[in-house]
Structure 1
Amino acid sequence: MRDHSRFKIAMFARQCGKTFTSTLEIVLDCLEAEAAGRRERWVILSRGERQAREAMNEGIKLHLKAMQRGFKELEIDFDANTKALEVELPGGSRITALPANPDTARGFSANVLLDEFAFHQDSRAIWKALFPVISKPGLKLRVISTPNGKGNRFYDLMTGHDDGWSRHVTDIYTAVADGLPRDIEELRRGAGDDDLWAQEFELKWLDEASAWLDFELINSVEDDNAGRPELYTGGPCYVGVDIAARNDLFVIWVDEMVGDVAWCREIITKKRATFAEQDALLDDVFARYRVLRCCMDQTGMGEKPVEDAQRRHGSTRVEGVLFTAANKLTLATQGKEAFEDRKTRIPAGDNALRADLHKLKKVTGPTGTPRFLADSDSSGHADRTWAKFLATNAASSGQEVIDYRRITHHTTDRSTAITRGAGWRNKKGIW
């Protein structure tokens, strides 16, 4: 708050006040300008519409109301696909919050706050579009985020030196030492994932070299509308099921094909679910969605659930997949290609899912054969990841095409009809 540098960047642990503090600076800057008879213009670029709304409602408006300052609030269509939230003060100062993309970044000449910048899709393209916009002397740029691996523009900015940027770091230990009421050990145990704790709370730059799906790749396919069953449009669905009975998670992943993109509609996770419960959950999915194909983990204890599902829903719709080394390589490769080609959409802001997807690592054995490993912890054994890959595999064959040829009916005797391949029926209605 006391740093008035033109270019300022801060890396905070989760829930340690980065948006609260940054939006307070914006409000104070606008009120100071109004008191001096000037106008200030600020734009908050967030990773998505939901985050932009949170920054406005839980930051800007919260501070203005606490200070008992009047303001007018608007919701406007920035373009056909983007809504912008805006607050206007009596003296004409304005604060706008909207989702970040290269077009929205290019559309303003204003002071800018990049909120959770490490998680923005196309962060490098956004940066290229944005920086010329704030080149006017006196305009301020604020960048805040938790880390999200090394493959994004936030990492480049945060690790730079002697480039005119003022840098700040607040990890969980610093925040608690400064008075934030948090139980560190309770949080660490509750996180249940060393990578998640290291990145989200200790602000470590994780080594992405062995991760099969790095955080930037995961982030690129996140969408606020994914993972919401109520948005199912009735289209064809493909399902992946990872079987578990004891320590790991039982997971059902449902993808709906919308055009050529697989939208996650629902992820069902259960721990220590009985086989009867698992059967009931899968039956419910088949009842609520138009499932064309379902791929299930048939390894070990999966033999009976697969056989039972085939009996209930048909062997043409339910396929068992043995998790051999070759099959796992095929599943993982198909799954990663869907992420790289942006042919899938997954729920945004789900930390457990992000950690699960990032957990899978590819290692090379002594014979040169690739293997996929994932540490087992309280949140599973990359079970959501394998369920997703199974759903992707289910969709890989595309929709079933029914081929047919017309059979012409003839008024002729039975022998001629059979010779010509036509249908024939006697007076009793028997073909």
Structure 2
Amino acid sequence: MAFDGEAITEEEWAKLRRDAVTSLPAALVGKSLPDILMPSQKALLMATASEEVVVCDKSRRVGFTWAAAADSVLTAGAAKSAGGMDVLYIGTSFDMAREFIDACAMWARAFMPACTDVGEFLFTDQEKGQEDRQIQAFRIRFASGFEIVALSSRPRSLRGRQGYVILDEYAFHDDAPALLKAAMALLIRGGKVLVISTHNGADNPFNELITDIRAKKRPGAVVRCTFDEAIEEGLYQRICLMQGKEWSPEIEAAWRKKIYAYHGADADEELRCIPSQGSGIYLTRALIESCMTSGGVDQVLRLKCPAGFELKSKTDRQSYVQAWLEQVVQPELDKLDPNLRHAFGQDFALTGDVSAYVPLAIDRDLTRRVPFVIEMRNVPYDQQKQIVFWVTKRLPRFTAGKLDATGNGASLAQETMQEFGPERIEEVHLSQSWYLNNMPPLKAAFEDRTIATVKHSDHVDDLRQIRLIRGVPMVPRDIRTTGTDGLQRHGDVGIALALGFAATWVDVGEYAYHRVEGRDLGNESALARRRRENEGGGFSRFRNWTP
């Protein structure tokens, strides 16, 4: 950045200060910080308070840098014992640095009355007008001894420094990987790193960083806010409030349309947080097939009930399905290792698509292995419940399950939760946020070869139905494939596998029964029984139980 070391005259600085926003907008004066910030901005501050590395995946001009300026003042203005430290801001231009320092100065002035009320000072000399001595072109000094300083976008500018690093518009820095590498070094001694940017292509280091964090390859948190999400949170209402303009839904809709028109073909990347050239197949055929090492077509257990089956008596339906369970499913259950933990995922369907039940075993090397898959077609609700309950109760060391609770699946998911307990069963409402948080870890497992699935061409097609839609890996609603049986599929096993894979990471305890020998417990008092159980008899809760 050209301004590093560049002289600025007194007259130039005075003009900059006059042109800058030097105080909180009148419409927001008197409100608390939580009231001033929008939900996504509050999520940003909550993330930086709990995480060492936070990445902001954002649209243009949604106020994340403005919120980061408030976070910077709270950090640099605090004593060391309260988590205070230097804040090191790195943007891509002189104007970005000036705007950030001005925003920090505005927040500092807004916070000063609160500090005075509790007997603290943000600036050494806090008399009216005198605080400007501590606010310089690219640096603000606080009474705490810490400072906010804008640095050049060269990695060496962080050498020898310590504190809270903010990399703004990271995707557009000339040497972004080296800059991030230099920033990460500050974590060793208790620093923090905040990366803020809009996207600049799918292969950009910024998008790769987000993907790694979502796939849990790197520690950290991602805070995402699209342009439409910011509008829903009140972005345009606040713009109108600060500019003294009238707001109405109709005016907002026209403004939104105009903004999208200005961006044209770039709207997806600039406003919707979708990196360019980032759509299409999420899992390649080669990647999927390389992990199909668990069993084969014989491990795909299919039950297709005949037409009119739902009209048969309850007894007939139950006995028909029970015979199938005992003859087809039980032999596969008998092959399961009783020492391994097991989980499952289920994608629900009544007619048309497949209702899939996918169990997973957690091998000793932590590979998630699918021993078999149950596919149900034209199976009535009661019999799907019969199958889910019967199989789940026979999974060795069953830990957790996640069921599709979208639409008709809600009832089965709820009843399964009631049967096995909320600590083990989750009713999942499939949404963009769920896919966004859970598909990257599944993809990482395929890439790392830490998942083994059943070999079947239909399952390859199901997993290839997962597409990047507006930056979110999910199964499109309106796309169907035809299976080897000539019937339609909708990525069913892929969704059930994602649910089951997520269930393998649920941390739950295990229970076992220890028989107490050599005691006549018939007349045992309640107090004696409690004492005995505390000494190890009765039911006990522990992990890594081997029967």
Alignment TM-score, normalising by the size of structure 1: 0.42
Flag the structure with larger Rg: 2
Q: TM-score, normalization: structure 2?
A: 0.34
Name the structure with the higher helix share.
2
